[in-house]
Amino acid sequence: MASAFNSTLNTPKSKLPLEVWAGVECTVNRVGEDYLDQLERNGHATRLDDLDLFAQLGIHAIRYPVIWERIAPNGLENADWSWADERLGRLRELGICPIVGLVHHGSGPRDTSLVDPEFPEKLAVFARAVAERYPWVTHYTPVNEPLTTARFSGMYGHWYPHGRDDLTFARALLGECKAIALSMQVIREINPNAQLVQTEDLGKTHSTPKLAYQAELENERRWLSLDLLCGRINPTHPMWGYLHDCGVSESELEEFLQYTCPPDIIGINHYLTSERFLDENLENYPVWTHGGNGRDKYADVEAVRVCAEGLAGPRTLLKETWERYKLPFAVTEVHLSCTREEQLRWLNEVWNAAQELRDQGADVRAVTVWALLGSYDWNSLVTRSAGYYESGVFDLRSPQPRQTAIAKMVRDLATGHKPNHPLLDTPGWWHREERLLYPAVSCRVSLPSPPVSSPVSNRPLAIVGATGTLGKAFARLCQLRGISYCLLRRQDMDIANPASVNKVLTELQPWAVVNAAGYVRVDDAEREPDVCLKVNAEGPAILAAACAQHNVALLTFSSDLVFDGAESNPYVETDTVAPLNIYGCSKVLAEKLVLQAHPASLVIRTSAFFGPWDEYNFVTIALRQLAAGNTFVAAEDAIVSPTYVPDLVHTSLDLLIDGENGLWHLANKSAVAWSDLARLAAKKAGVSVSSLIARPTQELGWIAPRPAYSVLGSNRGELMPHLDNAISRYLEERN
């Protein structure tokens, strides 16, 4: 079948728009005797329907795995093609061109490795089998990021075969590049028009003047895999001597020249952490960054955290690639582990850089939205299975993959529409001053970057509740995230007064409103129900109606106290409400009125706040009293799911940006009695609990009845970290 994607290769680039490609994080790497498989972790291994979700994004092509270690771990004679048959067949039906990857940060089945002299021939045998089975496939990446994989496997020891020397690195890289050439050779015997899309992570190294020689070496070495494939490594090339010094003989290097295989499309992968800074002033950096080259000792840190002028950035690196090779190229991975607006800003910046270079004549084919389903444990370079998840175009923490705001952006780009979210007006954190973790150092010697403007959106986020814990936390974290906001007091906007609300919405023109205000005194509500209902129900209803009229998103909060505690399993969003007190009744009424007036509103039920920035929450008071040796009394029979305020705010903002609506439950994963919460916090803080007294709730003098069990779960998505992790971060922030 001739795909539309394939036809673009024969069409002048000036006649075609920049394409949107996508990719599934599909690393299958080996650590010791264990294989770490992203497709198993992200569930795509068993979800065929994901492909239909991907097609709805409007993507032209997808980097897709037919991984050697998965298909034929025990030899081709025992290969299981059923998974690839079904998936590639469905992609063909959907009209999406697969760019088939065979090895993705791996080293092959157990009978081989990157330094096995027969690795290239063995991969080529598998490649031939793939091409024979799928002769219609036109695009291949036999080995993803060979230089990066060789460094991690042969130089740094992270992945199998865990080498830590230059020779292991060099042999691994040469083996991978030979494997690419041999694989494409046999693939083209089946399909003469098959295209090589060769990916590589092209970082850049900056340094102090003293270490300029090391930066120069690393900046030349970053091109090594592409130069090898393009046949550029000859006795006059700077890397010829380097490889020889690593222990590779000249005869081996000369022999390799017969295995050249220039890419049809160069794939550039770039991450914020890919740019490094080398500094001999070790005292400025943590010990874990210290290293050296045998001649000098130095710290190796993320350049974004120290370079005063910022990074070289995607535009510079893409331009360098074009000027060096003059071959068609694409950005083959765009992903950022960060909050949602920063993910949007990074994709927007890379897209704009690619479009600008294309307009200037560079043959840029596409930008690839990577990690459609997110990724696991890349914070540890996939050296262990710890469950650290980064969401992507879809968030997997829901029962089914849930579209994030990135999905809308991808559809906009794929259909030629310019993304217009107001949060794109602010530069990403990598351009803002707070990025600097170490004493700023000029990188002008190696980084002639232009100044970055810092526009501020004229459509802020309006935050109601300037004096409350939650309102202050939203303001604090919006500042950190580069989200323009306006923090409103009651005298600025009275949400119980329609005229006041309409006036402020007209003047501010916010893109969204966060209602973080409310009546929170549960026992007092029993004495003044009218006041509680007016503040907690009537006000939010008026605010919701105004937001609907102004077409403004609304986020407001409810409580676990809408439930009666008769259950013994965590409450989910669809469970029947049955409040026991006036406060709970006010929240039930608010939910109903808000969603009636503005069905697109996001209503978050949460529970038992604790946070590092106020002195009056349960955990802070408990630790203060116990540390002083004072008696502290807590309920032993009321089971709750405490909520760490920074986690609540970050997750709420992400959901708001994603355009989510309706009821959501957000609380840190746990089910704990108040007295046990005090014990847990005290244990982690190293504080004695000898003065802690656990009592039944009936002895605590509470006026309003509370549910004995009000733990929040969710059937929409478990997005919050575990309580144990949250308390550890609370203590770090307090200290």
Location of structure tokens 């960054």: 289
DSSP for 219-230 reads HHHTTHHHHHHT
Instruction: Characterize 299-320 residue by residue with b for buried, 16 or more Cβ atoms within 10 angstroms of its Cβ, and e for exposed.
Output: bbbbbbbbbebbbbbbbbbbbb
Q: Is residue 37 within 8 Å of 70, Cβ to Cβ?
A: yes
Q: What are the strands of the beta sheet with 512-515, ordered from one edge?
A: 485-488, 461-464, 512-515, 553-559, 602-606, 662-665
Q: Which of 64, 376, 583, 730 is catalytic?
A: 583
Instruction: Give dist(CA 657, CA 680) in Å, integer.
Output: 34
DSSP for 412-481 reads HHHTTPPP--GGGGSPPGGGSGGG--S--B--TTT--PPP------SS-EEEE-TTSHHHHHHHHHHHHH
Of the candidates 220, 455, 423, the residue with the CA atom closest to the CA atom of residue 339: 423
What backbone torsions phi and psi does residue 387 show, to the nearest 5 degrees?
85, 15
Q: Is residue 336 within 8 Å of 272, Cβ to Cβ?
A: yes
CB atoms closer than 10 angstroms to residue 524: 16
What backbone torsions phi and psi does residue 419 show, to the nearest 5 degrees?
-60, 140
Q: Where are the beta strands (DSSP E) in 233-315?
A: 265-269, 275-279, 290-292, 297-302
What 393-401 contacts at long range (C-beta under 8 Å, 24+ apart), as own/partner pairs, is 393/22, 393/57, 393/369, 394/53, 395/717, 395/719, 396/42, 396/43, 397/717, 397/718, 397/719, 398/716, 398/717, 399/715, 399/716, 399/717, 401/47, 401/50, 401/53, 401/373
Residue 370: both structure tokens together: 């990577």
Q: What is the DSSP letter of 571?
A: B
- Dihedral of the alpha carbons of 316, 321, 322, 323, in degrees to the nearest 10: 80
Distance of CA 647 to the CA centre of its chain: 16
583 given a catalytic annotation: yes
Instruction: Give dist(CA 52, CA 44) in Å, integer.
Output: 12
Distance of CA 336 to the CA centre of its chain: 5
Of the candidates 661, 445, 467, the residue with the CA atom closest to the CA atom of residue 555: 661
CA 359, 365, 368: angle at the middle one, nearest 5? 115
Residue 250: both structure tokens together: 């000249």
Instruction: Give dist(CA 81, CA 267) in Å, integer.
Output: 27
Residue 146 CB-half CA count within 13 A: 30
SS3 state of residue 607:
coil
Residue 160 CB-half CA count within 13 A: 21
Distance of CA 54 to the CA centre of its chain: 18
CB atoms closer than 10 angstroms to residue 466: 19
What backbone torsions phi and psi does residue 179 show, to the nearest 5 degrees?
-65, -40
Contact partners, residue 544, CB within 8 Å, separation at least 6: 554, 556, 593, 594, 595, 597, 598, 601
SS3 state of residue 408:
helix
Residue 296: both structure tokens together: 């000098």
Residues noted as catalytic: 583
